[in-house]
Amino acid sequence: MINAGPRNFFEDFRLGQTIRHATPRTITSGEVALYTGLFGARFAVQSSAAFAKAIGYPDMPVDDWLVFHMVFGKTVPDISLNAVANLGYAGGQFLAPVFAGDTLSAQSDVIGLKENSSRKTGIVYVRTRGCNQNGTTVLEYVRWVMVRKRDEAAPAPGDHVPRLPTAVDPKLLGTACPPIDPGKYDFDLAGSAARFGDYQVGDKIDHADGITVEEAEHQIATRLYQNTARIHFDQFSAAQGRFGRRLIYGGHAISLARALSFNGLANAFHISAINGGRHVAPLFAGGTVFAWSEVLAKSELPGRNDVGALRLRTVATRDQPCAAFPLKSGEEYDPAVILDLDYWALIPR
């Protein structure tokens, strides 16, 4: 009898296990154009080959979040097909630029396991690496996901919660961004005159616009990444679950928030690292996403006088504009918050 494919439940994982994920994916200009059509990001470096080449890139790089989603999608059949929820991220680094024509593959190491007290689920911690066709690591990150058990009586496969960094050291940033020529960076064409020195720690930016999520768009986007999680596709299965309908992939909210952040952060052209992130609440088709950001820290990069790094916290909401910068309501998140993301972005000096 032929197995239909990997259907890992919590008790199937082992500490130290290495999983090579199936189906390498070549990113073409078609995927890049479709990603732009789905999210509408306007960052000049990822929109114009002429702009990117003028400042020092060999070609127009692929959007950082498209790279992330492509790598993430490879991991879903093995890691999170039976997930209840993707809980968070840490220690993410974009380590090399990706260009149209590059082929991405992924591998994950199981670095932590913790059964929940209900014994119905457990949390799986994995460190995932995405590599190009030359074996160069282009992306690395940790995520943790709550996964169902097949048999509630099955013994836990391990009990270890890894120690994770609260932030990526700024000294490690910038490897995916070649030296650029700030003199060739056309701020008019980029859409903003704001440079590294114009931002101060504590600045809050309302990204102003909202984007309504359509059912067809999030279905197309998740298929683009070959993300096979049933909760995003299978209404027959989802109708029997907690929400009674399909959930929108959390990465969809990330990409929408990133696209919105152009308003106020147009020159923060490269996501260099993911310090942490949490999908606070679900998003469904028909919801309108808004976003705001706060500058948490600033850092110069060793040996670089062309770009600096802004540590940003971007918060996305559902059906609530962000002029009041919603985040917490007492000890809990404001009910409108769906995403809380902490990352480093590079910006010209």
Is position 119 within any domain? yes
Question: Is pLDDT of 78 > 90?
Answer: yes
Question: Is pLDDT of 6 > 70?
Answer: no
pLDDT, tens only, 283-294: 999 999 999 999
Is position 4 within any domain? no
In 3D space, the residue among 22, 8, 212 whose CA is nearest the CA of residue 110 turns out to be 8
Is position 327 within any domain? yes
Is position 2 within any domain? no
Structural domain total, the chain: 1
Across 191-209, average pLDDT: 98
pLDDT band at 11 (very low <50, low <70, confident <90, very high): very high
Across 254-271, average pLDDT: 98
Is position 3 within any domain? no
Q: What percent of the chain has pLDDT over 90?
A: 89
Separation between Cα atoms, residue 72 and residue 86, nearest integer Å: 11
pLDDT, tens only, 130-175: 999 999 999 999 999 999 999 999 999 989 999 999 999 999 999 9
CATH of the domain at 40: 3.10.129.10
In 3D space, the residue among 162, 143, 11 whose CA is nearest the CA of residue 90 turns out to be 143
Q: Which domain holds residue 123?
A: 10-348
Across 187-213, average pLDDT: 98
Is position 1 within any domain? no
Separation between Cα atoms, residue 98 and residue 345, nearest integer Å: 17
Is position 290 within any domain? yes
- Exposed e or buried b per residue across 173-207, where buried means at least 16 C-beta atoms within 10 angstroms of its C-beta: bbebbeebeeeebeeeebebebbbeebeeeeebbb
pLDDT band at 230 (very low <50, low <70, confident <90, very high): confident
Average pLDDT, the chain: 95
Q: Which residues contact 269 (CB under 8 A, 6 or more apart)?
A: 43, 44, 45, 46, 190, 345, 346, 347
Is position 300 within any domain? yes
Across 320-327, average pLDDT: 97
Separation between Cα atoms, residue 169 and residue 319, nearest integer Å: 35
Question: Is pLDDT of 110 > 90?
Answer: yes
Contacts 24+ apart (CB under 8 A), 132-138: 132/96, 132/98, 132/102, 132/103, 132/104, 133/24, 133/102, 133/103, 136/95, 136/96, 137/95, 137/96, 138/67, 138/71, 138/94, 138/95, 138/96, 138/97, 138/98, 138/102, 138/104, 138/176
Question: Is pLDDT of 5 > 70?
Answer: no
Across 181-203, average pLDDT: 97
pLDDT, tens only, 44-75: 999 999 999 999 999 999 999 999 999 999 99
Across 35-47, average pLDDT: 97
pLDDT band at 84 (very low <50, low <70, confident <90, very high): confident
Question: Is pLDDT of 195 > 80?
Answer: yes
Q: Enter the pTM of the model.
A: 0.96
The strand ranges marked E within 133-253 are 137-148, 204-206, 211-212
Tokens of 288: 């309108």
